[in-house]
Homo-oligomer: A and B are copies of this chain.
Amino acid sequence: MKINTNLATLPAGYLFAEIAKRVKEYAAKNPDADILRLGIGDVTRPLVPAVVDALKKAADEMGTPEGFHGYGPDFGYDFLINAIIDADYTPRGVKIDFDEVFVSDGAKSDVGNLQELFGADASIAVTDPVYPVYVDSNAMAGRLGQYVNGKWTKLTYLPCNAENGFVPPLPDKRVDVVYLCYPNNPTGTVLTKAQLKKFVDWALENDALIVYDAAYKAFITDPEIPLSIYEIPGAKQCAMECCSFSKTAGFTGTRCAYTIVPKELVFDGVSLNRIWGRRQATKFNGVSYPIQRAAAAVYSPEGMKQNQANIDYYHANAKVIREGLQSAGIRVFGGVHAPYIWMKTPNNMPSWDFFDLLLTQAHVVGTPGEGFGPAGEGYFRLTAFNTLEKTKEAVNRIIRIL
């Protein structure tokens, strides 16, 4: 049987699997170690009451002949799609049509699957460091060439570092697709409208597509920072946008997300909206009805208020990390409009060494920057997704060993 060799030869494991493995091995050998996890970007606050109530109500409905729902609309129920448009786009002056919204089980699924829209020889650019799914999903499809010395030969890297203020340069050659994630995972940094406009203008000039991952937009506190790429004129002609309830409403274990594919997005006469619909209708069967009801409750007045309290909680944690590390002389970035703090490793220590040091000496788990790409070397990611108490304790432990 002929195997997908691109998939079979993909290097190493998924970053977080490797971290989980190292932590598990350390914990097994040191059962008394009180390990504090500021590694994976997973929320810790419970679902808010408005969401729990909606989920239970929908569960009850599903148990009655009148309220039962079988297969739903492939791209999401009206009540959820309309709530998304009314709350996330209309107030920002962005017009999104009903049939431009595709509800899914997760932004990871969408950003992983949407490369199926691209030709086998499409050229790709990513910021560096980067969320690994953009890279791995294209590597599996054979678009990235060979993996040599930690880099894919056909992938264009847009390095983001302290020197350029984590603002990616435009690609220095034409590419078909650029992935952008703002607020950024892993660096926690954002782009202003002016900075994002440069990418939109570049994409329009170059007949290129921007995949815009806005999974962390709920953390933006400055009204001048764009919540959506569609706040930039022309973006509907060049960008898809992936959003999620995971970080907005603590849905990492509940699973709901949505992707916007504007009808203006046409390349070589082919509508991406049409072919993404075809892809989803063929290989996906919609999101669970109770889960869509739970997601819609995120937009209720109570849901909005209750979830904002959780976001505020994580923001307070981020501040503790940012200011604690700064007070110890560490250079830190992000953590203002994002739940991620991106720190320089002390003395430019290799990031996996720093990972092991923190795990074994401070019993704190973070994410080595190198796991996010070559330009992440010498950096380290900490997340604001723990309790305030444990976050404070983790910062104290880190400072103590530096």
Contact = CB atoms under 8 A, between A and B. Distances in A.
Interface of A: 1-5, 7-8, 10, 13-14, 17, 40, 42-49, 51-52, 55-56, 59-60, 62-65, 67-72, 105-106, 108-109, 112-113, 116-123, 132-133, 136-137, 140, 142, 176-177, 207-209, 250, 252-255, 267-268, 270, 275, 278-279, 281-291, 294
A182 to B, nearest CB: 21
30 contacts: A1-B122, A1-B208, A2-B118, A2-B121, A3-B118, A3-B119, A3-B267, A7-B275, A7-B278, A8-B270, A13-B278, A17-B281, A42-B71, A46-B63, A51-B63, A55-B55, A55-B59, A56-B60, A70-B250, A105-B255, A109-B284, A112-B283, A133-B283, A137-B283, A140-B282, A253-B289, A254-B288, A255-B287, A288-B288, A288-B291
Nearest to A385: B70
Contacts of A116: 4, 7, 140
Contacts of A270: 3, 8
A65 to B, nearest CB: 6
A260 B57 CA distance: 33
Contacts of A250: 68, 70
- Which of A67, A123, A290 is packed against the most chain B CB atoms within 10 Å? A290
A71 B285 CA distance: 21
Contact of A46 (B62, B121, B290): B62
B121 A254 contact: no
Given A283-B108, A283-B133, A291-B288, A1 B47 contact: no
Q: Which 5 A-B pairs have the closest CB atoms?
A: A112-B283, A2-B119, A52-B63, A42-B70, A69-B253
Given A282-B133, A289-B253, A47 B63 contact: yes
A267 B5 CA distance: 11
B286 A255 contact: yes
A67 to B, nearest CB: 7
A66 to B, nearest CB: 9
A207 B40 CA distance: 40
Contacts of A40: 71
A285 B132 CA distance: 14
Nearest to A108: B285
Given A1-B209, A136-B282, A254-B290, 8 more contacts: A8-B270, A10-B278, A46-B63, A68-B250, A70-B250, A70-B252, A71-B252, A140-B282
B109 A285 contact: yes
Nearest to A47: B62
B118 A1 contact: yes
Contact of A255 (B56, B132, B285): B285
A117 B1 CA distance: 10
Nearest to A210: B1
A1 B267 contact: yes
Nearest to A115: B4
Given A17-B281, A116-B140, A288-B291, A67 B46 contact: yes
Nearest to A290: B55
A215 B71 CA distance: 15
